Amino acid sequence: MVECSSDTQIRPFLVEKRCEPTYEESVNVLTADGKIWFTPIIDFIREKRYPKQFTVGDKKRLQKFATQFILQGDLLYKRSYDGIQLLCVNEEQAQTIIKEIHQGICGPHMNARMLAKKILRLGYY
């Protein structure tokens, strides 16, 4: 509470209310050709093949970025800084994981940052 004199002018501020989950926009990550975001990484690890539209700089970034991933069969894992292997998931799996953690049985309805941390702790990327 703040004490104000009667001649003090108080201006209200507006608070935006979101009607949709904030995570829907960021989960939809497809490449330009409509494939899953980690398809170029899998192709590079398996066959040392780059996407056709990649420039020299993109190829160098992919080489460096791919060192953080492990391919076991058809599953791609990302090495986290503490040594845990995080399973890379597609959009459909990510939506299911997010809904289950956020709204599932005993879901804590946490904010976006805490939700992302919890998903990483559970072993998903």
Selection from 2-11, 22-31, 85-94 with the highest mean pLDDT: 85-94
- Please choose, from the candidates 35, 47, 99, 97, the residue with its C-alpha nearest in 3D space to the C-alpha of residue 71: 47
Query: Mind listing the pLDDT tens digit for each residue in 24-51?
Result: 444 445 565 667 888 889 999 999 888 8
Check whether 92 has a pLDDT greater than 70. Answer: yes
The larger pLDDT score, comparing residue 94 to residue 65, is at 65
Where do the structural domains in the chain lie, given as residue ranges?
24-121
Residues 87-104 as b/e (b if ≥16 CB within 10 A, e otherwise) read ebbeeeebbebbeebbee
The larger pLDDT score, comparing residue 11 to residue 68, is at 68
Question: According to the model, what pLDDT value does residue 25 have?
Answer: 45
Given CA atoms 50, 51, 56, 60 in this order, what sign does their dihedral have?
A: negative
Contact, 31 vs 40, CB < 8 A?
yes
Over residues 77-85, the mean pLDDT reads: 85
Check whether 87 has a pLDDT greater than 50. Answer: yes
Tokens 């890379």: give the residue: 88
